[in-house]
Structures are given as C-alpha cells and as structure tokens.
Structure 1
Amino acid sequence: MANQHGDFVWYELMTSDADAAQDFYSGLLGWNYAESGQDGVDYRMFSAGEAQIGGQLQLTPPMVEHGARPAWVGYIRVDDVPAALEKARASGATVLMEGNEVPGVGPFAMLHDPEGAFYYIIDDQSGEESHAFSTHEPKVGHCAWNELMAGDKAAEISFYSNQFGWSVAETMNMGPMGTYDMLKCGADRDFMFGGMMARPPAMPVSMWTFYFRVPDIHAAADYVKDRGGEILNGPMEVPGGDMCINAMDPQGAMFSIIGSPGDKQ
C-alpha cells in the first residue's frame, strides 16, 4: 500500500549518548543499526528486519545550547514541503528548521504545532514505501500507534485535519479523562494510525508519543528498569487485549511500547 500525504513514515530519536541509546533500544526492540554515511554528523538508521523504522541523531553541544533535548519526533509525509509550510504557518504552527534535504529522499522541515508539539514533514521522493508504521499486522519493532496529548484537543484535531486530511474514525469515552479520538488518514483507508486525548494536568506541554511493539510487555518492562530506564505509567491494558507502557529511556527521552501480556495476567 503506497504512502500518501499525512502518513507517518519515519521516527527519529535525538539523544545525548548515541552508543548507549543504540544498546538500549536494540536490546528492547530488536533493531539493527547502520551508519547513515552523512559527513560531520552522527546519524544512525535502525531497522526491524528488512524494514527501516527510523534514525538516531547524536545531539551536539551547539544543539544542546540552543535548547535541544533527548526526544522522539515523527516524520509526516507531505506532497509539497513549501506549500505545507505556508499552510502550517497560516494555521499557527512555528517553523523551526527548513531548507534541508535528505540525500536521495527529499526535502524536510521541522515544526511545532500551535500548542508546541514537535513534528517533521518530509516530501519522500525516493519511490520507496515506508513500513515504519505497521498498518494492519502486529509487527515487533515497528510503530503500532501515534498519540498526541493535547491541551485543546478540538483545536489540535482541527489543525492536523486541515494540514494532512486526517479525520476522527472512532471516539472512546474514558470517563474522568474525557474522550479519546482515533484517527484515519484518508477516507478509503481501512485502518487507524493514532489518536488524540487531553493531556493530564501534570503534563506541562502537548507532545506526540509513539508506541513501538514488543513481543512481551512484562519482559520489556523488566528490561527497561534493569537497563536504567524509568516506567512512567503501566503496564495497562488497551482495547484489543494488548498492554502498553509509557517510559523514559536512560538519556531522558520519553517513549512508549505496546505488546501482549505474555505469561503474566
């Protein structure tokens, strides 16, 4: 199935210790790493089997001085980067970086939405289909869900729908936590790619989080704790029988995992 405007196609980790982060995530998610070959920058690509999932960027001192911190950021495919930037600016987004290009792929830019959640856009002209997000089948090491915690959920849904053609496919009542809106990209699609919910009062800013699949959620939780990460929430059950965890890696980047409960019920 070809990727289209509005699809998540790549996931990037910005980290303060590239070697330690590679060791942590390769053990947790089974990723294989390879150097990108870019001059003057430590950028490593990681794959689940034959499928490329994303890249890992070593933060440099100048990046840190300008406010960069360990974090995960997703890339959303667009048909035209300059047009997408113009539309985003007109809708209240802030462009943080533009005018760059991934060799052999195409132009990209980094933004934050009207509430400050970071994301990339990219015009992938390589002709290769991204399998970073698993659309139908559960695949270990792939992203299984993209989630935005927003201060004004209705406004954020309006923003992203206007930018990328997303629509609310289903809504789930979560009681005191409000509603959870599940999203589709394209009316002809038969899968949902993510959701939006109101961020809890303790969370100071809106942000995207990405759920990567593990084979056993409890074994993964033990791994995270044993390897210097921190469990922030979970394991908790989600619709469909899987369980998920929100966590922080040893360098301070927040991430999420999802998987089966394994032998522990």
Structure 2
Amino acid sequence: MTNPHGTPIWFELITSDPDAAGAFYAKVIDWSVGSFDGATVAGPEDYRVFSASDGEGVAGLMKIPDGAPPQPAWFGYVGVDDVDAAVAGITAAGGSIQMPAITLEGVGRMAMVTDPQGVPFYVMKGASPEPSTAFKRMSLGHGEWNELSTSDDAAALDFYAAQFGWKKDGAMPMGAMGDYSFLSHGGQMIGAVMRTPPGEQPRWNYFFRVGDIDEAETRITDAGGTIRHGPIEVPGGDFVIYATDPQGARFGVVGSR
C-alpha cells in the first residue's frame, strides 16, 4: 500500500461467530461480506472482508484463533514503511510484541504490538500497489474516527507522535477526566486520545460512518446489539454512538441528525 507511514489502513473484527457478526454489521452499517482469497492474518480460519456500499474494502472478519483471548474485539492497523523497524521502535519505547512479524503472500507484512500502556494494535506494510481507503472520513461505511482510551494520555501522545508522526491538534476539556486530545496525521484529523473512564479498560475504539444516527441506533438494537452511550453530539455537529455487537465486541458509529 502506498499510504504514508502512520496512516490508519485497515480494521479487523475477531469474533466468536463470524456468520452472526457478518449479518449484524451488514444490517447496521450496510456492509457487504465477501472472501479474501482465503488469506488470513493469524491462522487458517476463513477470512472475510467487509466492504462499504462504494465497493471498497474497509475491514476484515475472522473467528477468534486458537490460543487468543476469547473476548471478541475490533483491532486497527497502522501502515508503516518498514514493519521490522516499526516493531523495533515500538519495543524500544516500552511497547510489546503480541504477534511477531509475518509475511502473507499477496497481503503484506504485519505484526501485532501494544503501546507502553498495553493497548494492542497492528502495524503493516501492505503488498497492494494501491492505497488503502478503509479510513476515509465523511464516507459512508468507512472508518471515521480512531479513539484511544488510555491510562496515561500524556505518555500515549508522546509515544504515537514518536512512532507515527501523529500530532496533538487541539483539545476539548472534560473536567475531571482531563482533555480529549485530537490527533492529526498529514494534516487530517484521524482521532483522539483520552483518559480511560473509571471502571473501563484501556482500548482503541473504532467508529464507522453511517447516515442518520437515529436510524442507526434503531438498527443496532433491532439486530441484537447494545447501546452503551449515545447518541451524543460532538464538535462539528455529528452524533456518535458507543455500542456492543451481539457477540460482545465494542464499536462505534458516527452519523448526522
């Protein structure tokens, strides 16, 4: 992939029931589900691809691999110029390796790592000559926002700035919770960093764009999902929902009203 170093390039759902999860997100986000030539990231399981209504691939879908944590979860991929160099930099900065770097023919080279606060994500150098459009703000069905909830927001901002060139680009005060610090990369807003709310675990939260937020809320509950928070208005006039799918994976949607 030709995306600049530090670009969010892919999303992936690892779940206990790919068939049910595929049907759920098809209803909620209007994704279609297809195969990806049998390619896998973490094992021989069937690997599927969620595509937006414009036909562009947005995310992967696979069953939880043997030996992996049993909780269904969404993960994000950050594009890098050199996976091995990125892993070395991440571990030198206090991160850890969850899955050593591997190369998949026709897919690319990737590794799963954590930041120094223990939040997992992937780094990847894709094999495709075309840039990824999985993260494409203001585009229906595409990744819209990447939100890090962390135990140490100041340290996380320093870490991601050093590894990927992400910049703090303004902040919204949240009282006792501190700042909601906006992240930009290459002149584009990509997400934010915040302190983990009490009772929650540090994690990346990934949001996908839908149309009308109230219609999305109805689709989530009708399809068996759970609304955890929202809809709430955010700067710029959009609304967001924090939700959980029927298998227990957390995700978010962004839409208008």
**Class of the TM-score when normalised by the shorter of the 2 chains:** over 0.9
User: Do 2:83 and 2:101's aligned partners in 1 also have CA atoms closer than 8 Å?
Assistant: no
Cα distance in 1, alignment partners of residues 121 and 182 from structure 2: 19
What's 2:57 paired with?
52
User: Do 2:84 and 2:101's aligned partners in 1 also have CA atoms closer than 8 Å?
Assistant: no
Cα distance in 2, alignment partners of residues 68 and 6 from structure 1: 29
Deviation digits for residues 204-256 of structure 1, max 9, x if unmatched? x2110111011111111111112211111111000111110101100000000
**What letter is aligned with 2:89?**
K
| Structural mapping, 1:110-149, within 5 Å | 110-135=112-137, 138-149=138-149
Which moved further from structure 2: 247-256 or 110-119? 110-119
What's 1:98 paired with?
100
What's 1:247 paired with?
243
Deviation of the 1:162 alpha carbon: 1.0
Which moved further from structure 2: 102-111 or 22-31? 102-111
Q: CA RMSD in A?
A: 1.4
Is 1:201 aligned to 2:203, yes or no? Answer: no
SS in 2 for 1:214: strand
**What letter is aligned with 2:58?**
I
| Structural mapping, 1:108-257, within 5 Å | 108-135=110-137, 138-186=138-186, 189=187, 191-203=188-200, 205-257=201-253
Deviation of the 1:176 alpha carbon: 3.2
What's 1:21 paired with?
21
**What letter is aligned with 2:114?**
H
Instruction: From the superposition, tell whether residues 221 and 200 of structure 1 become closer, same or farther in structure 2 (CA, over 3 Å).
Output: same
Cα distance in 2, alignment partners of residues 101 and 169 from structure 1: 34
- Percent identity (aligned): 43
Deviation digits for residues 158-184 of structure 1, max 9, x if unmatched? 111111111111112223332111111
Cα distance in 1, alignment partners of residues 18 and 227 from structure 2: 21
User: Do 2:27 and 2:223's aligned partners in 1 also have CA atoms closer than 8 Å?
Assistant: no
- Give TM-score scaled by structure 2 length: 0.94
Deviation digits for residues 60-82 of structure 1, max 9, x if unmatched? 4x23xx42420000000000011
- Give TM-score scaled by structure 1 length: 0.91
Instruction: From the superposition, tell whether residues 68 and 103 of structure 1 become closer, same or farther in structure 2 (CA, over 3 Å).
Output: farther
Q: How many residues are aligned here?
A: 251
Cα distance in 1, alignment partners of residues 203 and 134 from structure 2: 20
What's 1:11 paired with?
11
Cα distance in 1, alignment partners of residues 246 and 55 from structure 2: 27
The answer for unaligned runs of 5 or more in structure 2 is none
SS in 1 for 2:135: coil
